[in-house]
Amino acid sequence: MTKAVRYERDGDVALIVIANPPVNALGHAVREGLWQAMDRFAQDDARIAVILGQGKLFLGGADISEFGTPPREPHLPDVCTHIERSAKPVVAAIHGPALGGGCEVALGAHYRLAMEGARLGFPEVLLGLIPGAGGSQRMPRLTGVGPALDMMPAGGSVSASEALKIGLVDRVATGDVREAGLAYARDLLDAAAEPRRTGALSRPTHDAEAFDAARALWTKKSRGEVAPLAAIDAVEVATRTDFDAGIKEERRIFLDLMQTPQRAGMIHAFFNDRKVSKLPELNGVSPREIAHVGVIGGGTMGAGIATACLLAGLPVTLVERDEAAAKKARTTITGNLDAAVKRGKLKDRDGTLAHLNTVTDYAALGDADLAIEAVFEDMGVKKDVFARLDTVLKPGAILATNTSYLDVNEIATSTSRPGDVIGLHFFSPAHVMKLLEVVVAGQTAADVTATAFALAKRLKKTAVKAGVCDGFIGNRILATYRGAADRMILDGASPWEIDAAIKAFGLPMGPFEMGDLAGLDIGFMTRQRKAATRDPRDVVPTWADAMYHEGWLGQKTGRGYYTYEGRKGTPNEAILPFIEEARGDRPQRSFTPEEIQRRYLAAMVNEAAKVVGEGIAARPLDVDVTLLYGYGFPRWRGGPMLWADHEGLPALLADIKAWAETDPYFWEPSALLEQLVAEGRSFADLNKENVQ
């Protein structure tokens, strides 16, 4: 037996205890320990075995420290089969998460007991894979194809009671898992229960309609991601072949997926989720305590931010300009909480709402530990708000702005405590979107930054550190690739061709659909704001100004780049004369979807490299995380910087330089990109050098 698995006896019952802290990962020691425990069980006089986990989890998934190392025997599929083949009955007693490999081990057992609080599921697709140790063949034999098709392509999981309902477990219990496991084992012995091998159960019925529906749903939802559809294929295999052939086919699909760039993209994203908050300057810095949050402005963003805080259990005082606006904010937040109840994210709506105080008097913020400003995007208004906050907030409170573009250093000058000022840039809807850009200004204190990261964790968001510049990381890069789209229109592409190409790449929306959704007045206002300082070589999308003057502001007016019936849009060809006028006598050409994608992505990467080169983003991986969580970049592609590495930086730079011949202002190559190419390095190399 290895140290990670203990073999104990309690009368007739063998207890096989998995103890591999911190997360009971299914590393080599656990696999080997399980194997040896099953051998010992076969040889001694115990009549039944109970497998259980020590710690928070029943049994974790693959051990991530083994990623990239050669696989060592025994392999997990063999361990599951070894358990299943036992001549004496085996019970899995599951008290916590049993996800991925952990769930497959449980399915290898003959009987399953889930304690309340257990969760069973298959998250493999989230890493670009499918279950690879029999899960796709055993689950449908237990539950039928319906629940397997609900769970596997989504990477989903179910609670103990749901698992009982669908037949994934046989009993649910409360209390101590060891006691409950022993009791169940003794009940089984009393009933003279025989081994009941999942793999020997009859083949699940093939339900053509269910497979068609699942394929239709996931073809649409996955936007080019292959693993969800591969998971459906694997479940279908279970309906068509005997178990042993099914296991082989599952393995083949699994190994094929292992080799795909999509899997590499998912792994890149998975590790970046952890690396992004590891900042050397925050080592050993303790965050400040946050027990009460103030929010100033209760419009789109303020109401969303307040909702996010309330959902995380933080009391909120929201300040609005007048009673009517305060009431409106309360109504919006109440609606958000109702929706959270419907989605199963919140139980006690009224209790949560009791922690919201909507006021018009800043004095109510005297007790707040953090105030987040979300008023109009106007420097004068924001400075006024910060000056007021400076007078009412207690010492040590943090003053945050949700500005999208404005200079946080300048905002800080209107206070007497610039060290306490920071940008917390949420994304809309703020209680849903995962990204939080933490904008660290020139004088922001380290513990204020640490507090922002701690807050993000509490709000279940992913925080990325950004420096001060127009648009920080995300919106600055967005402005550039939007610019590339506008230039392609001037060169002959239509907005609808561009949207289609970008969606084919895997983003949920193209830039023009996105504009219609957000409201085309936002872009117009931004152009107005920047008009005075705009470089004369820059291109202005005059057709977009004309659309604004027509009152075509997108979905909210029923017309924009598309004409809407409900939310469904068809191309609004009435904008073509405006586009023709803007094109003037510029030479026109046609674009393939691949050309559109390459220009769009190249513009994104070139600006991103400037953002990294200037230190606005700490590393390329911070850009990848930003685009993934704030801008819908497909997770299976890992992020734009990983995409660029795959494309090859020299070829990308060569393209940028070629485009710069006709448009040197827009396509000025990033100095960092040139340097990396000259040194034969990649963004991945830069990540490696800058991660602890």
- Point out which span in 56-64, 213-221, 371-379, 604-612 binds ligand NAI (CB under 6 A): 371-379
What are the angstrom distances between the C-alpha of 511 and each of 304, 495, 499, 603?
A: 23, 8, 6, 13
Question: What minimum distance in Å lies between the beta carbon of 300 and ligand NAI?
Answer: 4
Give the closest residue to 238 by CA, choosing from 203, 196, 199, 202.
Answer: 203
Q: Decide if residue 374 touches ligand NAI (CB under 6 A).
A: yes
Query: Which DSSP state fits 296?
Result: E
Virtual torsion, Cα 276, 277, 278, 280, nearest 10 deg: 110
Return the residue of 319, 469, 582, 601 that touches ligand NAI, per CB under 6 A: 319
The DSSP 8-state label assigned to residue 66 in this structure reads: G
- d(CA 103, CA 124) in angstroms, rounded, equals 11
The least distance separating ligand NAI from the CB of residue 376, rounded to whole angstroms, comes to: 5
Which residues are designated catalytic?
Answer: 104, 124
Q: Is 300 in the site for ligand NAI (CB under 6 A)?
A: yes
Assess contact for 522 and 560: CB atoms under 8 A: no
Q: Is 402 in the site for ligand NAI (CB under 6 A)?
A: yes
Contacts of 79 (CB under 8 A, 6+ apart): 31, 34, 35, 105, 108, 133
* Phi/psi at 158 (5° precision): -130, 155
What is the C-alpha separation between 17 and 11, in angstroms, rounded? 16
Q: How far is the CB of 684 from ligand NAI (least distance, A)?
A: 30
Interaction residues for ligand NAI, span 183-222 (CB under 6 A): none
Q: How far is the CB of 408 from ligand NAI (least distance, A)?
A: 11
Q: Taking CB under 6 A as the rule, does residue 523 contact ligand NAI?
A: no
Q: Which of 231, 295, 325, 400 binds ligand NAI (CB under 6 A)?
A: 325
Q: Is 385 in the site for ligand NAI (CB under 6 A)?
A: yes
Q: Which of 381, 387, 651, 654 binds ligand NAI (CB under 6 A)?
A: 381
Would you count residue 327 as binding ligand NAI (CB under 6 A)?
A: no
- Which of 57, 375, 439, 673 is close enough to bind ligand NAI by CB under 6 A? 375
Helix, strand, coil in percent for the chain, rounding step 5: 50, 15, 35
Q: Which is nearer to ligand NAI, 591 or 629 (CB)?
A: 629
Q: Are 67 and 37 in contact (CB under 8 A)?
A: no
Q: Pick the binder of ligand NAI from 299, 492, 571, 593 (CB under 6 A).
A: 299
In the bound complex, which residue of the shown chain has the CB atom lying closest to ligand NAI? 299
Whole-number minimum distance, CB 257 to ligand NAI, in Å? 36
CA–CA separation, 71 vs 133, rounded Å? 14
What's the Cα-to-Cα distance from 188 to each of 78, 103, 199, 447, rounded to whole Å?
26, 21, 20, 57
| Choices 60-68, 318-326, 331-339, 486-494 (CB under 6 A): range interacting with ligand NAI | 318-326
Reported in sequence order, the residue ranges of 140-222 that DSSP labels E, i.e. its strands, are 157-159, 171-173
Cβ-based neighbour number of residue 353 at 10 Å: 14
Residue 296 Cβ vs ligand NAI, minimum distance, rounded to whole Å: 5
Nearer to ligand NAI, 482 or 487 (CB): 482
Taking alpha carbons only, the member of 153, 142, 154 closest to residue 104 is 142
Instruction: Indicate which single residue of 9, 72, 206, 321 sits in contact with ligand NAI (rule: CB under 6 A).
Output: 321
CB of 380 to ligand NAI, least distance (A): 10
Interface with ligand NAI, residue 387, by CB under 6 A? no
Nearer to ligand NAI, 194 or 378 (CB): 378
- Binding-site size for ligand NAI (CB under 6 A) equals 23
Q: Name which of 327 and 460 has its Cβ closer to ligand NAI.
A: 327
Chosen residue from 136, 403, 494, 670 binding ligand NAI by CB under 6 A: 403
The pairing of beta strand 435-439 with beta strand 421-426:
antiparallel
Quote the least distance from Cβ 303 to ligand NAI, whole Å. Answer: 8
Nearer to ligand NAI (CB atom), residue 330 or residue 599:
330
What are the distances in angstroms from CA 19 to CA 16, 76, 116, 485?
10, 17, 20, 54
Contacting residue, 53, 297, 634, 639, with ligand NAI by CB under 6 A? 297
Distance of closest approach, residue 30 Cβ to ligand NAI, in angstroms = 45
Q: Per CB under 6 A, does 601 bind ligand NAI?
A: no
CB of 235 to ligand NAI, least distance (A): 39
Nearer to ligand NAI by C-beta: 404 or 606? 404
Nearer to ligand NAI by C-beta: 325 or 454?
Answer: 325
Cβ neighbours of residue 257 closer than 8 Å, sequence gap 6 or more: 128, 129, 130, 226, 227, 230, 263
Check: CB of residue 465 under 8 Å from CB of residue 493.
Answer: no
What distance in Å separates the CA atoms of residue 617 and residue 188, rounded to the nearest whole number?
Answer: 59
Query: Which positions from 423 through 462 interact with ligand NAI, judged by CB under 6 A?
Result: 426-428
Sequence-ordered list of residues with C-beta below 8 angstroms from that of 683, at least 6 positions apart, any chain? 609, 620, 641, 642, 644, 645, 649, 676
Q: Is 294 in the site for ligand NAI (CB under 6 A)?
A: no
Sign of CA dihedral 51, 53, 57, 63: negative
Query: Which of 320, 513, 607, 624 is the binder for ligand NAI (CB under 6 A)?
Result: 320
Of the chain, the end-to-end C-alpha distance in Å amounts to: 35
Q: Point out which residues bind ligand NAI (CB under 6 A).
A: 296-302, 319-321, 325, 374-377, 381, 385, 402-404, 426-428
